[in-house]
Structure 1
Amino acid sequence: MESYRITFRPSGRIITAEPTETILEAALRHGLSLPYGCRNGSCGTCKGKIIQGIIDYGTYSEEALTAQEKSQQLALFCCARPLSDLEIECQEIEAIRNIKIRTMPCRVHKLEHVASDVMVIYLKLPANERLQFLPGQYIDILMKDGQRRSFSLANSPGNDEFLQLHTRNYTGGVFSEYVFSHMKEKDILRFEGPLGSFFLRDTPAKDTPIIFLAGGTGFAPVKSMLEHIFYTENIRFAHNKIRLYWGARTRDGLYLNDLAEKWATGNENFSYIPVLSEPLADDNWQGKTGLVHQAVMDDMHTLADCQVYACGAPAMVKAAFDDFSHRHGLQSENFFSDAFAPSKPATT
């Protein structure tokens, strides 16, 4: 089968892609670091422009790539396959270029049931092995039937004796039923990683506020980033006002609330704002209610000079980006996100 040539703009890099490969797969194989998240057409992180050439758009969520965006020659590079030589426009990320993606075995060291539907898994790597990653990245658990299940790393790179994953139990979950019903300590798993372009960027200007927005177990990569700041980079971030908005339906969903409150007590430049959308009567909730991203806009007059890191359900991430950028002045290049998408797109 004939391979195709892909030219990247503005960098000018040129690679070859097989007809069976997506643009993203070909780029990663050649060591190019493009923005991406879910890798199944659900989150929209890998969106770029087809300047010249023909593609097969593949299977994707229409929320991640609208008909109007397709008419503007945009495509999702995790799904799109070349049907001719291509010239494309996209951002390349230098920071993850030298992070090696590895396939490794690991052992389940501990299981911690932290909420009615959330389990924290601690994984131990083989002796003398460590995984180099950036705070915010994720790994894919490789299942025996060939399926993958993506989990953000919740530990910081500097605290890597155990890899920490936060998994929610939900109906039809590819992996969660095994975790909650069958997984036990000393089980052996295999994973690939680190993956993804959601990670803590270099220090912004010292007066730039940084907002972390987490929905449910979207707290996991945010935890990795914040612990990296608190225990490794505290001096560099000392002049940045940092806020964490963590949203859940009920109080039980704030499964590490005590930890977040501890951070707020121990760091003068950090504030923690929990938000519940459907608090129960038994929660005796006195805090903020409603949509978590709306709480940000209620508190902040403008986001024009802010950085935002958002992680959670695709609908939350999209609503945050749309409202923050259109109504509150956030610059699109200062919005970094990871959408926790299902293993298959909801629509095609």
Structure 2
Amino acid sequence: MTYQVALSFEDGVTSFVTVNGYETVADAAYKSRINIPFDCRDGACGTCKAFCESGTYDGGDYIDEALTEDEAEKGFCLPCQMTPQSDLVLQISGTSEMAKVTAKTYKAAVQDLRWLSDNTAALSLRIEDRGTLQYLPGQYMNLAVPGTDAVRSYSFSSGPALEELAFLIRTAPDGAMTGYLKDGAAVGDELELTGPMGSFFLRDVKRPVLMLAGGTGIAPLLSMLETIATTPQGHPLHPIHLVYGVTFDKDLVELDKLEHYAGVIDQFTFDYCVADKDSTAEKKGYVTQHITGTMLNDGDVDVYLCGPPAMVDAVRGYWAEQGITPENFYYERFAVGSTSSVKETVEEHEGQRTYAEVSGDNH
């Protein structure tokens, strides 16, 4: 039996390796010419120590100086000793450059372009050999804008198992991608994609989950929900609730998909709110005004947040006001400008934080 192991590096690049049930992750990585750092390969030095975000494995043999019992219980592992018992996601210490890994570039063609509102487009792409592109639900790709030198970053709104590659794109005044989509895009156009990127992705559902989205920050959460709906995680033992906030009614998109997921995922529910006081939505205001104590579960909750900087800062401030620290807090913030923006993915859990930044319009 073989398993897929995602190796997520500190700079946001992710590589996938196929690992046989009898070989270690490090051996499989080296066969794929991915140089995970180590000094001994015997479980004695701890140089290759990684963190397992998802999946099950046999940790192998090692000494306490390389990996303590407390670290192992928290999810740390030694790739030179571990053998997978399921697909895995590992956070690797070090950059992709250190491991001699580069993000892959793919040729894609425009399959469909739909305008969900006057400022939000749903873009679908296809590539010739879909199986060569693997990604984690929640990650993003860098898209080269046809006819320009510009590169923009967008999160997948489609799940990794789907044939289509779908993205939600919010337009920006004088934006390079905006100009292309509104004035020149046509079915069959060729684009280049590079990735996958980012440490904002779905982990195993081990406790209640709270998802928070602002605007087209709903995209990576849709990818996560699609994965939950179409895998054994579709019957989670814990509740999953999503609060989706936008500025105006016209900014509400993909509500039909959320309704679909509410019907097929056990214990999944969602709310949406609109900041505009003249909105026809039942719930008005900001996302933080619609988070309840039940959703927080006294801090025993995993939180996924994707939105603009002001929203991310407001949510972080909200935790401080409530005196609650979520068990795990994963967030990605984006800022759209006229010509560029910054995408930042942040992970906070058990005292750890990792960052990955990429320039370009996104969401």
Q: What TM-score do the two structures reach when normalised by structure 2?
A: 0.63
CA distance in 1, matches of 2:324, 2:150: 40
Indicate the residue corresponding to 2:330 in structure 1.
Answer: 336
Contact 1:101 1:194 in 2 (8 A): yes
Question: For each residue in 1:180-217, what CA deviation from the matched residue of structure 2 results, as whole angstroms up to 9, or x when unmatched?
Answer: 2221111100010100110001232xxx2101101110
TM-aligned CA deviation for residue 325 of structure 1: 4.4
Given residue 186 of structure 2, which amino acid in structure 1 is its aligned partner? K
TM-aligned CA deviation for residue 268 of structure 1: 3.7
Compared CA separation, residues 289 and 110, structure 1 to 2 (3 A):
same
Given residue 338 of structure 1, which amino acid in structure 2 is its aligned partner? E
Indicate the residue corresponding to 2:218 in structure 1.
Answer: 219
The correspondence for 2:196, drawn from 185, 194, 197, is 194
Indicate the residue corresponding to 1:230 in structure 2.
Answer: 229
Indicate the residue corresponding to 2:264 in structure 1.
Answer: 266
CA distance in 2, matches of 1:293, 1:181: 37
Compared CA separation, residues 328 and 232, structure 1 to 2 (3 A):
farther
Question: For each residue in 1:51-79, what CA deviation from the matched residue of structure 2 results, as whole angstroms up to 9, or x when unmatched?
Answer: xxxxxxxxxxxxxxxxxxxxxxxxxxxxx
Indicate the residue corresponding to 1:147 in structure 2.
Answer: 150
Question: For each residue in 1:216-238, what CA deviation from the matched residue of structure 2 results, as whole angstroms up to 9, or x when unmatched?
Answer: 10010000001100111335x52
Given residue 141 of structure 1, which amino acid in structure 2 is its aligned partner? L
CA distance in 2, matches of 1:324, 1:209: 16
Indicate the residue corresponding to 2:9 in structure 1.
Answer: 33
CA distance in 2, matches of 1:35, 1:211: 26
Indicate the residue corresponding to 1:132 in structure 2.
Answer: 134
Query: Which residues in structure 2 correspond to 1:42-53 (within 5 Å)?
Result: none
Contact 2:241 2:295 in 1 (8 A): no
SS at match of 1:156: coil
Indicate the residue corresponding to 1:21 in structure 2.
Answer: none
TM-aligned CA deviation for residue 142 of structure 1: 1.9
Question: For each residue in 1:158-197, what CA deviation from the matched residue of structure 2 results, as whole angstroms up to 9, or x when unmatched?
Answer: 11x1100100112132312211222111110001010011
Given residue 302 of structure 2, which amino acid in structure 1 is its aligned partner? Q
Indicate the residue corresponding to 2:64 in structure 1.
Answer: none
Indicate the residue corresponding to 1:53 in structure 2.
Answer: none
CA distance in 2, matches of 1:303, 1:185: 49
Query: Which residues in structure 2 correspond to 1:92-111 (within 5 Å)?
Result: 95=89, 101-111=103-113
TM-aligned CA deviation for residue 147 of structure 1: 2.5
Contact 2:288 2:315 in 1 (8 A): yes
Contact 1:303 1:324 in 2 (8 A): no
CA distance in 2, matches of 1:247, 1:185: 31
SS at match of 1:258: helix
Indicate the residue corresponding to 1:209 in structure 2.
Answer: 208
Indicate the residue corresponding to 1:254 in structure 2.
Answer: 252
Indicate the residue corresponding to 1:289 in structure 2.
Answer: 284
CA distance in 1, matches of 2:314, 2:269: 23
TM-aligned CA deviation for residue 303 of structure 1: 4.7
TM-aligned CA deviation for residue 138 of structure 1: 0.1
TM-aligned CA deviation for residue 35 of structure 1: 6.1
TM-aligned CA deviation for residue 252 of structure 1: 2.0
Contact 1:211 1:309 in 2 (8 A): yes
Indicate the residue corresponding to 1:67 in structure 2.
Answer: none
CA distance in 2, matches of 1:148, 1:313: 19
Unpaired runs of 5+ residues, structure 1, are 1-30, 38-90
Indicate the residue corresponding to 1:52 in structure 2.
Answer: none
Q: What TM-score do the two structures reach when normalised by structure 1?
A: 0.66
CA distance in 1, matches of 2:203, 2:123: 26
Indicate the residue corresponding to 1:16 in structure 2.
Answer: none
Matching of residue 172 in structure 1 with residue 174 in structure 2 = yes
SS at match of 2:10: coil
Compared CA separation, residues 157 and 279, structure 1 to 2 (3 A):
farther
Greater displacement, 292-301 / 130-139 = 292-301
CA distance in 2, matches of 1:142, 1:307: 33
CA distance in 2, matches of 1:172, 1:318: 27
SS at match of 1:164: strand
Indicate the residue corresponding to 2:322 in structure 1.
Answer: 327
Indicate the residue corresponding to 1:81 in structure 2.
Answer: none
CA distance in 1, matches of 2:121, 2:298: 34
SS at match of 2:199: coil
Q: Percent identity?
A: 30
Indicate the residue corresponding to 1:24 in structure 2.
Answer: none
Unpaired runs of 5+ residues, structure 2, are 1-6, 14-48, 53-88, 93-100, 343-363
Given residue 136 of structure 1, which amino acid in structure 2 is its aligned partner? G
Contact 2:139 2:197 in 1 (8 A): yes
TM-aligned CA deviation for residue 307 of structure 1: 0.6
CA distance in 1, matches of 2:102, 2:204: 20
Indicate the residue corresponding to 1:77 in structure 2.
Answer: none
Indicate the residue corresponding to 2:313 in structure 1.
Answer: 318
CA distance in 2, matches of 1:32, 1:262: 31
Compared CA separation, residues 166 and 305, structure 1 to 2 (3 A):
same
Aligned residues: 254
Question: For each residue in 1:252-288, what CA deviation from the matched residue of structure 2 results, as whole angstroms up to 9, or x when unmatched?
Answer: 21111122122223334011101111154xx532x21
CA distance in 2, matches of 1:195, 1:337: 14
CA RMSD after TM alignment = 2.8
TM-aligned CA deviation for residue 113 of structure 1: 1.2
The correspondence for 2:123, drawn from 111, 121, 124, is 121
TM-aligned CA deviation for residue 328 of structure 1: 4.4
Contact 1:297 1:324 in 2 (8 A): no
Compared CA separation, residues 242 and 181, structure 1 to 2 (3 A):
same
TM-aligned CA deviation for residue 298 of structure 1: 6.8
